[in-house]
Amino acid sequence: MDIKFINRATKELVTERPPGEDILRFLYGNPVGEALVLPIAKQKFISDWYGKKMDSPSSVSRIEPFIRSLNIDMSESEKQINEFTSFNDFFYRKLKSGTRKIEAGLVSPGDGKILVFKKVSEVKSFFVKGEKFTLGEFLEDEKLAEEYQDAAMVILRLAPNDYHRYHFPYQGIPSACHEIGKDYYSVSPISLEKKFTQVFTKNKREICRLKTAGKGDILIIPVGATMVGSLNSTFTPESPIEKGEEMGYFAFGGSTIVLLFDANSFELDSDLVENTQNHLETAVRMGEKIAIDKI
């Protein structure tokens, strides 16, 4: 299966080939991989072990080959290649000040491929293909799910070559993060092809409620994945933040951020809605507008 997305800047259709494609297809598309290997690969100790490996000084040897293979633009990086102390230090690198413009409205919390839905109820008709997706399972809180049953939903998928720090999509006052989830399924688009429900109900994730002035509360949910094992918050809970301020970062691996917000307060950009309806993700960058203020 070719994985295609829309380059928002050029409007071109692009084919993505994720790192580790053969391994992912074995884990998620081969009966032997699914039955014997996946139950082990998704366990936290595997993710923790690999995370520690990526923290070791010897892992710096992986940086330059990784940059070359994925054609990463290092001109945006705050540090030079020889300044990184480990692969993870490179992986969750900071960008130079001013590299990302923070636009009007609700903005993307990070770099990646985005899908948007005017109502959460639309998700099951697009992704699950006959399997019921429940918001209660995702949030592990039926009362919270009822509160957001008519909310708009944004799913931002980060690939390994993306900038892996995430930011607040709007100004407000954030709560402390509440950790939920257990297993560590991959959030690669290959695993999403057949495992969407499990990916978004079994990954480790954190829920942060961003209180806004007059726009309702926005739920921001970072999702950890296989070979990550670590969600790292960098903000101070219950203190006012500005749109675009850093919220946290992911250690090594692909990851996802989900937003749930009042559909009456923000109107999703029409190109993102159209692409999603055509079963296509759209490439966006942190700070880029994804919805306008309605009220």
Answer yes or no: are the C-beta atoms of 206 and 140 closer than 8 Å: no
DSSP of 187-209: -SHHHHHHHHHHHHHHS-EEEEE
Residue 3 makes CB contacts below 8 A (sequence gap 6+) with 15, 16, 17, 18, 189, 190
Would the pLDDT of 116 be above 90?
Answer: yes
Confidence of residue 99 (pLDDT cuts 50, 70, 90): very high
- What's the average model confidence in pLDDT over 73-89? 95
Beta strands 217-223 and 205-211 are antiparallel
The tokens describing 192, both together, are: 């999403």
Q: What integer pLDDT is reported at residue 240 of this predicted model?
A: 98
Q: What integer pLDDT is reported at residue 73 of this predicted model?
A: 94
Q: What integer pLDDT is reported at residue 3 of this predicted model?
A: 78
Q: What integer pLDDT is reported at residue 31 of this predicted model?
A: 56
Would the pLDDT of 232 be above 50?
Answer: yes
Q: What integer pLDDT is reported at residue 135 of this predicted model?
A: 83
Nearest to 218 by CA among 175, 187, 250: 175
State the average pLDDT for the chain: 81
CA distance 258 to 133: 15
Confidence of residue 113 (pLDDT cuts 50, 70, 90): very high
CA distance 232 to 158: 15
The mean-pLDDT minimum among 76-80, 107-111, 121-125, 171-175 falls in 121-125
CA distance 81 to 99: 18
- What's the average model confidence in pLDDT over 196-223? 81
Catalytic residue positions, numbered: 111, 167, 255
CA distance 206 to 234: 13
- What's the average model confidence in pLDDT over 82-99? 94
Most confident segment among 29-43, 169-183, 280-294: 280-294
pTM exceeds 0.75, yes or no = yes
Residue 235 makes CB contacts below 8 A (sequence gap 6+) with 168, 174, 241, 245, 246, 247, 248
- What's the average model confidence in pLDDT over 64-85? 94
- What's the average model confidence in pLDDT over 225-249? 86
Would the pLDDT of 289 be above 70?
Answer: yes
115 strand-pairing partners: 155
- What's the average model confidence in pLDDT over 208-212? 98
Q: What integer pLDDT is reported at residue 225 of this predicted model?
A: 59
CA distance 183 to 47: 10
pLDDT digits (tens, 9 = 90+) for 258-284: 999 999 999 999 999 999 988 889 999
CA distance 110 to 162: 9
Distance, C-alpha 282 to centroid of its chain = 13
Q: What integer pLDDT is reported at residue 130 of this predicted model?
A: 35
Show me where the domains of the chain are located: 3-18+102-293
Answer yes or no: are the C-beta atoms of 63 and 90 closer than 8 Å: yes
- What's the average model confidence in pLDDT over 240-247? 98
293 strand-pairing partners: 266
